[in-house]
Amino acid sequence: MNVTNYEILGVGHDATVQQLRVAYHQKLLTTHPDKAGDSADDSKVLISAIQEAYRVLSNAQNFFQKQGFNITGAGLDVYTLESFQCNDDEYPVWTRNCPRCSSENSIELKEADLEMGTPDGLGGYQIMVPCLSCSLWITVLYEEEDEEEE
């Protein structure tokens, strides 16, 4: 029987990080072999599951990977960075209008965002970006720009 991380810690899906921490410590105390009197092998397995559940749920990136959410961007509308406007400032920001709500410049990327992209398997990168005005998310494809020597 598969048990969710929430069930292991005994918390609801809407638990805050503080509630996760309290539940984690309580579970560890109640399953510790010195406190519960369980066999050492059983308690090691249970403690390991409790530690893994807390590690996954308390870390946002692990949470999305382990809970099975779509973090690849598959199924989202795809755009290229070339379809964005760039402000050409010292700290460039790429913007575009939202294709759903038409809000002006509501989808934006900064250079730091681009550094967080993941390889797309074709020699470039991809990143998921939200509209700041509605709930739309899009995937943006881009390639790393070679530094030009002066």
Domains of the chain: 5-66 (1.10.287.110), 77-142 (no CATH)
Q: Which residue has the higher pLDDT, 54 or 94?
A: 94
Tell me the CA distances in angstroms from 59 to 9, 46, 51, 117, 133, one per residue in order: 15, 20, 12, 19, 27
Bridging pattern class, strands 118-119 and 107-110? unpaired
Residue 70: per-residue pLDDT: 46
pTM across the whole model: 0.50
Longest CA span, the chain: 71
pLDDT class for 60, splitting at 50, 70, 90? low
How many whole angstroms separate alpha carbon 146 and alpha carbon 60?
32
Residue 114 — φ and ψ, nearest 5°? Answer: -65, -30
